[in-house]
Amino acid sequence: MTVTDVRKDTTALTMTINCEWDAPIERVWQLWADPRQLERWWGPPTYPATVVDHDLTPGGRVNYYMTGPDGDQPRGWWRVIAVDPPHRADDHRHDRGCDDRLIAVLPRVRRHELRIVEALGDAVGI
């Protein structure tokens, strides 16, 4: 994965991350749809993720925790709002004090692009 662009909008309280993948859209979608694959890339290398529950359907939840270098395990979860496989996942995310909306979009025009839009509760951390 190559991050091609990060846009921060403090007025709209959003951060948009664009990535390119050297894989077909169906393969990229599996990073969201398969909890074991999601664990391999969600979060920084020093805090690997463990997905506990994974229901990627509208109304479903994805529960996870990350294990830090000192053994701490901050937890988080997503409430799935909408899904359009293999093009879009729209989630409401809660973790470590965050309460935001996370939207993953795999555009139909460019097969190898992933756009993540994070709508934040405040401008802290932007």
User: Is residue 44 included in any domain, yes or no?
Assistant: yes
Higher pLDDT among residues 114 and 84, named by residue: 84
Q: How far apart are CA 23 and CA 9, in angstroms?
A: 29
48 phi/psi in degrees, rounded to 5 = -60, 145
Dihedrals phi, psi of 86, to nearest 5 degrees: -100, 40
The pLDDT of residue 57 is 93
C-alpha 107/C-alpha 18 separation (Å) is: 11
In whole angstroms, what is the distance from residue 82 CA to residue 122 CA? 23
> What is the band of 13 on the pLDDT scale with cuts at 50, 70, 90?
confident
pLDDT range class, residue 101, cuts 50, 70, 90: low
| Residue 69, domain member (yes or no) | yes
Q: What is the pLDDT of residue 109?
A: 46
| Average pLDDT value over all residues in the chain | 80
The range of the structural domain enclosing residue 53 comes to 32-114
Residue 125 belongs to some domain of the structure: no
pLDDT tens digit sequence for 41-61? 887 889 999 999 999 999 999
What CATH number is attached to the domain comprising 46? 3.30.530.20
Query: Domain total for the chain?
Result: 1
